[in-house]
Chains A and B, each alone.
Chain A
Amino acid sequence: MIQENMVLTNELGLHARPASALTKIALKYKSNVTLQGNGKTVDAKSIIMVMTMGVKGGCPLVVIADGPDELECMAAIQDLVENKFYEE
C-alpha cells in the first residue's frame, strides 16, 4: 500500500470533468484506490463518490493505492493532478 499527499492546482478542483478523468485512470488498474479530501474518504473508481467529496481547487488530496499495480497507478494519477487534469 502506498500513499501520496497532493494538492489540486486546477481552478475548479474535482468538478465533473476532472473527476471523470481521475476515475477513468483508477478503473484501468487492478489496485484499490482511495481518495481522502474535504473530510471524506471515497472509492476513486466511483465518479459519483469522487464528485460528492466536493474538493475545490487549491485543496489537498490524499491518494492511497493498494494492489499489484499500485506504483504505476499512483504515477498515472500524480501525472494527471500535476498537469491540472490536462484542462486548457
Chain B
Amino acid sequence: MAEIIKGKGAVPGVAVGTVLVLSTDLDKELAKYAQAAPEVEEKKYYAVQQKVAAELEESVNNAKDKNQKEQLAILEAHQGIILDPVLKAGIVEKIRHHMSAPLAVLKTSEEMAQMFADIEDAYLRERAADIKDVGKKIVHEMLGIGQPDFDRGNLIICGEEIDPCVIADLPDGKVTGVIIGHGSTTSHAVIIAKAKGLPTVVGLGEAVKRLENDTRIVLDANQGTVIINPDESTAENYTEKVKKELELNQYYLSLSELPAVTLDGVGVTLAANIGNPKDIDNALKYGCNGVGLFRTEFVFMGRETLPTEEEQYTAYKYVIEKCGDKLCVIRTMDIGGDKPLPYLNIKKEENPFLGWRAIRICLERTDIFLTQIKAILRAGVYGNAAIMLPMIISLEEILEAKAIIRQAMSELESEGRKYVSQIQIGIMVETPAAALMTPVLAKECDFFSIGTNDLTQYTLAVDRGNPSVSKLYSPYHPAVLNLIDITVHAAHSNNIWVGMCGEMAGDPVASRLLVAMGFDELSMSAPSIPKVKEKVRSITFDKALVTRALSQLNADEVTKLLV
C-alpha cells in the first residue's frame, strides 16, 4: 500500500530507489543494547576486535595494491590501535566491572584519546581522533550499525540528520537521492547535496522513522514528497521522469564548452561555488570557469582540533591545481556560533548571526587566520588563487587582515617556503554596511563578491530559516537590489571586478538583470551553471532594465518584470 509523506524539496529532482538508513545516534543505540554477563561481553569484544582487525587488514592490502601511501599510513596506525594491549586491558577491566562491551570500548578509547591533549607535536595530538575512530568502528560493529554498504547502488540515503561529510564522501553513482528528517533547506548537508546534484527532501520530521532499509520509494523533491512502496504505475511514471531529467542533464552537460555570452556579445564569467575540495571535479564537468567561492568551513568542521597548515594546504592545492589558469577565490573561515566547533570555544550567543563570527574571530584568533593564510599562499603557487574576506563591515578590518597576510608572507619567507607574493585580496559584500561603504572599501580591494543570502537577510532583517517570516525573504526586494547596484558602481568606478556568489547568481530568472547591472562574474552551485548559461545565451544586454527594476515598489513587481 503506497503511502505519501510530505516534506520540503531542498534540491530539485526526482529519484526512484531503495532506502538506506544512516543512523548516527549512538546514545540511542547504546540505550537499546541488551547487556549480558561480563564473560559474555568480554567474548563479544574479542570477537568483534578480531573481525574489525581482519577487515582493516583487507583495507591495508587494498591500499598497498593501489599504492595509496597516505591512506596506508592511517590504516596501519588504526590496525596498531585496534590490537593495542593497553587499550585492550582498559576495555576488559571495565567489562569485568560490569560495563557493557560497547560502552567500555567507547569510554576507554575516549580516555586514551584524552592522553593526547597536551602533546606538543600537532600531528601527534591529532592522532587522538584516530583512537576515537577505531573505538567507534568497534562500537558500530557491536551494535550492528555497521558501515553503510553503498555497493548495491540506486540508493536513497535517509536520516534524521546526515553529517555533511558523509554526503561529501559518497561513492560516485551509488546514491540517487537524500532525505533528511530535520534540517532546513539551507543546511550544510543540503548545500553539498546541491553541489552533487542529488535530489533532496528535508523536514519530514518524525515521519522519517517510517522509512526502513530496503524499502522501495519514490523521492519527488520538486513536490517535496516521498512515496513509500509506490504502485507499479506510479513507479513507472517516475522512472520515466528520472530518465527525462537524465537526458536534460546530458543536454546541460553538452553546454559546458560553450561561452556564456549574450546574443549581442556581452560576456560574463560563470564560476562555481564549492564546499568540499572534491566538488571541483563535478563543477568542471558542468563547465565552470574557475571557482568564485570556495567555502573553507568544511576544512574546519567535523573534527575535534584545528586543521593544520599542511592539511589546509593539501585541500586548497587540490582545487587550485584543478582550476588551472582560472581564478580560484578562497573565502577565509566563515564560522560563528551557529556552527560551534569544539576547539573554538564560542560562548552561546543570543544572536549568532550578529555575533562573534568569520572575520571577527579571525582578527582576534590570529593564530587560526595566519595558519589559513599561509596554507592559501603556499597552495597559490600551483595556480591562480585569490583571498576573500567574509562579514566585512569596515575599512579597518580589511587593513588589519592585510597586515596579517603580509605577516604570513614574511613568516613563509623566513621558513624558506615557496608561496605567492602577488595575490588578489577581495571581500564578500554581505552586510548593508559593506555595500554602502563600497566606494571607500574599493580602494583596498582587488574585487568584490556579493553574498546575496546574507545581504538579503541582514537588509530585510529576515531569518530565512524561520518559517514564520521566510516568505518575506527575497533578494529581489528593491532595497537589496539598490545595495547591489551601489556595489557594482563602486567596483567599476575603481576599476576592480565585481561578482556575485549568493544563490541569486544561480537563478536564471535573475540573469537578465545581473548582466544588465554589469556583473563581471557570477558564481553558483555547479548544476546551476548550464541553466544560467543557457539563459545568458538567449538574452540581450538591456541597460534600461536596471533603472526599471530599481524603481519597483516590491519584490513581486521586480520578478514580474524579469520572467
B123 and A48: CB pair below 8 A? no
Residue A15 CB within 8 A of the other chain: yes
B73 touches A46 (CB 8 A): no
Give the size range of B's interface with the partner. 20 to 34
B119 at interface by CB-CB < 8 Å? yes
Known: A20-B76, A54-B119, A54-B121. A45 touches B127 (CB 8 A): no
Are A43 and B121 within 8 A (Cβ)? no
Contact of B116 among A20, A27, A52 (CB under 8 A): A52
- When the two chains form their complex, are residues A45 and B85 in contact, meaning their CB atoms are under 8 A apart? yes
Instruction: Take A16-B127, A48-B87 as given contacts and tell me if A24 and B120 are in contact as well, using a CB distance cutoff of 8 Å.
Output: no
Count how many pairs of residues, one from A and one from B, have CB atoms less than 8 Å apart in the complex.
58
Bound CA span A43–B89, Å: 13
Contact residues in A for B342 (Cβ distance below 8 Å)? none
Q: Check: A84 CB closer than 8 A to any chain B CB.
A: no
Is the pair B80, A23 in contact by a Cβ cutoff of 8 Å?
yes
Q: Is B271 an interface residue (CB 8 A)?
A: no
**Contact in complex: B86, A43 (CB < 8 Å):** yes
Task: Give the residues in chain A near B86, CB-CB below 8 Å.
Answer: 43, 46, 48-49
Minimal Cβ-Cβ distance residue in A for B134: A48
Our pick among B73, B81, B83 for the contact of A17 (Cβ within 8 Å) is B73
Residue of B nearest to A12 (CB): B123
Q: Does A8 contact B (CB under 8 A)?
A: no
Bound Cα distance from A12 to B310, whole angstroms: 14
Look across to chain A and name the residue whose beta carbon is closest to the beta carbon of B88: A46
B80 in contact with A20 (CB, 8 Å) = yes
B354 located at the interface, meaning its Cβ lies under 8 Å from any Cβ of chain A in the complex:
no
Chain A contacts for B131, CB-based, 8 A: 48
Residues of B within 8 A of A51 (CB): 116, 124, 127
Interface string of A43-63 (1 = CB under 8 A from B): 101111101101010000000
Judge whether B80 and A52 touch: CB under 8 Å: no
Smallest beta-carbon distance B63→chain A, Å:
13
> Measured between C-beta atoms, what is the minimum distance from A3 to chain B in Å?
22
B93 CB → nearest A CB, Å: 15
- How far does the alpha carbon of A50 sit from the alpha carbon of B275 in the complex, in Å? 36
Structural contact, B80 and A24, CB atoms closer than 8 A: yes
Known contacts A20-B80, A51-B127; decide if A46 and B121 are in contact (CB<8 Å): no
A43 contacts B115, C-beta separation under 8 Å = no
Residues of A within 8 A of B115 (CB): 48, 52
Task: Return chain B residues, CB-CB under 8 Å to A20.
Answer: 76-77, 79-80
The dominant DSSP class at the A interface is helix
Q: Does B112 contact A (CB under 8 A)?
A: yes
| Complex interface: chain A residues within 8 A of B76 (CB) | 16-17, 20
> Does B84 reach chain A (CB closer than 8 Å)?
yes
Query: Which residues of the partner chain A approach B73 to less than 8 Å between Cβ atoms?
Result: 16-17
Partner of A15, one of B79, B81, B123: B123
Instruction: Tell me the residues in window 11-69 of chain A with beta carbons closer than 8 Å to chain B beta carbons.
Output: 12-17, 19-20, 23-24, 27, 43, 45-49, 51-52, 54, 56
Q: Contact partner of A48 among B74, B79, B84, B120, CB < 8 A? A: B84
Chain A residues in 8 Å Cβ range of B77 = 16-17, 19-20, 47
**CA of A43 to CA of B84 in the docked complex: distance in angstroms?**
10
Measured between C-beta atoms, what is the minimum distance from A15 to chain B in Å? Answer: 6
Closest chain A residue to B83, Cβ basis: A27
With contacts A16-B127, A17-B73, A52-B116 taken as known, whether A47 is within 8 angstroms of B121 at the C-beta atoms is no
Q: A51-B116, A52-B115, A54-B120 are in contact. Are A43 and B80 (CB under 8 A)?
A: no
User: Are A46 and B123 also in contact (CB < 8 A) when A17-B76, A17-B77 are?
Assistant: no
CA distance A52 to B112 in the complex (A): 9
- 16 more CB-based (< 8 A) A-B contacts, given A20-B77, A46-B86: A16-B73, A16-B123, A16-B127, A16-B130, A19-B80, A23-B80, A43-B85, A46-B87, A47-B80, A47-B81, A48-B84, A48-B87, A48-B131, A49-B84, A52-B115, A54-B120
A sample of 17 inter-chain contacts (CB < 8 A) reads A15-B123, A16-B76, A16-B123, A16-B130, A17-B77, A19-B77, A20-B80, A27-B83, A46-B86, A47-B77, A48-B112, A48-B131, A49-B84, A49-B86, A51-B127, A52-B116, A52-B124
5 closest residue pairs by CB, A with B: A47-B80, A46-B86, A54-B119, A16-B77, A20-B80
